[in-house]
Chain A
């Protein structure tokens, strides 16, 4: 790799503040936003179902109740298992890219 090769312009873009901001939004920022949307959805669904009886909906085959139950479980599992991993991955990726940008031989 040389200064005139394909790498140098990209490093410059990545190290540039406005580009870093865009990367943060399309990376961890977006993931954070998804999480912030999911939390109230989970809370709302949980309170809604807790005030009723999902087992009755299950036994009677009530579609709205079943859909709410399915959505709640999906959001819950996403928030607890997937979302933190996704956010960590994005943060780690961003950190690694920034580190590379600073330590690139092109600088």
Chain B
């Protein structure tokens, strides 16, 4: 039955050892990792101060420590600019959501939110937009030019406005919201271009969310009119950009509903989060598609498939690395969609995955995801602290 081991002990037979190995591997993987990884998840979902605050402190410190408006200098102006816009926007959304959840933190985070808003609205942050359009949309939007990248900027400004209605950038916020709404509500497809010749439905979702958040932050009788127009827009947008799988098409041919890319999980998830600010029913619809079409679970860890069934591809910067069909982008953005749409189980599974690969690391009174850098930590703060529409 057993034979001598080199160390002088006894050994079990090979089939028995193989069986034991499989048994322990199965049992341990099924029971242990979910208990030791992502233990902060339940507290984060419930919005506990001691879980949200250290993450917010880290993101605030990164923005405060940055002297330059751009975070990365890779030599690719589009990436450098867009990543800076994403960092400032997500910083504003994340800190704003934390401040809405814990009003006692407003005074602490408002100064850094003002800094982020100023840099977000600075044309040099996204010099690429001025390069392709001839002028940055913050300065001037020519009639007919889409400038949907402004949805990210306007959404960030909207969160600061929500906390500080008389903020210094209020006139710019009003003008951008008005000009974007004019473009969005007059579009037959429900879509507008991000850059000349490029139409990205997830960016359009950011524009719609920003218009909704502006109405929420400013209130008044105009808010009801905006809500009604957003409702009409939802139908056109859904008809044009939502695939039969329920996933959002990542890119379309400009001025048409013809797909230029596959229905993708990263775009669907981030659009679901953005739409929670202005079109919660459409947000829910996209989130349901993520649950139905994209949700993957193993041993208590969750992920979201990048491509809808029947589609495949190499992904891109929005998706990030793709492993077994599950992308980092879709999984990360789905955390925000899950909290905004009140899905605790899905949220916890996704958070465990984020914690497994992101590696939360405590330093004094801050906590950051070691692998995330400035971009990943700002994104995760916004996603982990997303709020349902009725709590905005």
Report 12 cross-chain contacts, Cβ distance below 8 Å, ordered by A residue. Answer: A10-B4, A13-B9, A14-B10, A19-B9, A22-B9, A51-B363, A54-B372, A55-B72, A56-B71, A72-B370, A92-B24, A97-B9
CB distance from A91 to the nearest CB of B (A): 9
A76 touches B359 (CB 8 A): yes
Q: B371 at interface (Cβ–Cβ under 8 A)?
A: yes
Write out the residue numbers on chain A whose beta carbons fall within 8 Å of the beta carbon of B32. Answer: 84
Looking at chain A's contact residues, the main secondary structure is: helix
Which residues in window 24-78 of A have CB below 8 A to B? 26-27, 42, 45-47, 49-56, 59-60, 69, 72-73, 76-77
CB distance from B70 to the nearest CB of A (A): 11
Write out the residue numbers on chain B whose beta carbons fall within 8 Å of the beta carbon of A22. Answer: 7-9
CB distance from A21 to the nearest CB of B (A): 10
- Binary CB contact string for chain A from 70 to 107 against chain B (1 if under 8 A, 0 otherwise): 00110011001100110011001100110011000000
CB distance from B109 to the nearest CB of A (A): 21
User: In whole angstroms, what is the CA distance A85 to B368 when docked?
Assistant: 28
Write out the residue numbers on chain A whose beta carbons fall within 8 Å of the beta carbon of B23. Answer: 92
User: In whole angstroms, what is the CA distance A81 to B29 when docked?
Assistant: 6
Write out the residue numbers on chain B whose beta carbons fall within 8 Å of the beta carbon of A52. Answer: 373
Do A10 and B363 form a contact, CB below 8 Å, given A55-B72, A59-B72? no
A89 touches B361 (CB 8 A): no
Q: B25 at interface (Cβ–Cβ under 8 A)?
A: yes
CB distance from A30 to the nearest CB of B (A): 10
User: In whole angstroms, what is the CA distance A52 to B375 when docked?
Assistant: 12
CB distance from A105 to the nearest CB of B (A): 11
Q: B12 at interface (Cβ–Cβ under 8 A)?
A: yes
Chain B residue nearest in CB terms to A45: B370
Q: Which residues of A contact B (CB under 8 A)?
A: 1, 6-7, 10-11, 13-14, 19-20, 22-23, 26-27, 42, 45-47, 49-56, 59-60, 69, 72-73, 76-77, 80-81, 84-85, 88-89, 92-93, 96-97, 100-101
User: In whole angstroms, what is the CA distance A88 to B72 when docked?
Assistant: 44
Which residues in window 1-44 of B have CB below 8 A to A? 1-5, 7-12, 17, 20-21, 23-25, 27-29, 32-33, 36-37
Q: B388 at interface (Cβ–Cβ under 8 A)?
A: no
B4 touches A59 (CB 8 A): no
Chain A residue nearest in CB terms to B80: A59
CB distance from A63 to the nearest CB of B (A): 16
B10 touches A80 (CB 8 A): no
- Give the contacting residue for B361; candidates A10, A14, A50, A60; CB below 8 A: A50
Q: Which residues of B contact A (CB under 8 A)?
A: 1-5, 7-12, 17, 20-21, 23-25, 27-29, 32-33, 36-37, 71-72, 74, 79, 356-357, 359, 361, 363, 368-376
A85 touches B25 (CB 8 A): yes
Do A101 and B21 form a contact, CB below 8 Å, given A10-B2, A84-B32? no
CB distance from B73 to the nearest CB of A (A): 8
Chain B residue nearest in CB terms to A80: B33
State the 9 A-B residue pairs at the shortest beta-carbon distance, nearest first.
Answer: A55-B373, A53-B373, A23-B9, A46-B370, A50-B370, A14-B10, A85-B28, A89-B24, A88-B24
A60 touches B74 (CB 8 A): yes
User: In whole angstroms, what is the CA distance A13 to B9 when docked?
Assistant: 6
User: In whole angstroms, what is the CA distance A85 to B20 when docked?
Assistant: 10
User: In whole angstroms, what is the CA distance A55 to B5 when docked?
Assistant: 47
Write out the residue numbers on chain B whose beta carbons fall within 8 Å of the beta carbon of A49. Answer: 370-371
User: In whole angstroms, what is the CA distance A65 to B145 when docked?
Assistant: 41
Do A26 and B9 form a contact, CB below 8 Å, given A7-B2, A59-B79, A88-B27? yes
A80 touches B36 (CB 8 A): yes
CB distance from A2 to the nearest CB of B (A): 13
- Give the contacting residue for A26; candidates B7, B33, B71, B72; CB below 8 A: B7
Given A55-B72, A97-B10, 15 other A-B contacts at CB below 8 A? A10-B10, A13-B9, A23-B5, A26-B5, A42-B359, A46-B361, A46-B370, A50-B363, A53-B373, A69-B371, A72-B359, A81-B33, A85-B25, A93-B12, A93-B20
Write out the residue numbers on chain A whose beta carbons fall within 8 Å of the beta carbon of B71. Answer: 53, 56
B10 touches A56 (CB 8 A): no
Write out the residue numbers on chain A whose beta carbons fall within 8 Å of the beta carbon of B375. Answer: 55
CB distance from A83 to the nearest CB of B (A): 9
User: In whole angstroms, what is the CA distance A1 to B1 when docked?
Assistant: 9
Write out the residue numbers on chain B whose beta carbons fall within 8 Å of the beta carbon of A56. Answer: 71-72, 74, 373
User: In whole angstroms, what is the CA distance A84 to B206 when docked?
Assistant: 43
User: In whole angstroms, what is the CA distance A44 to B249 when docked?
Assistant: 42
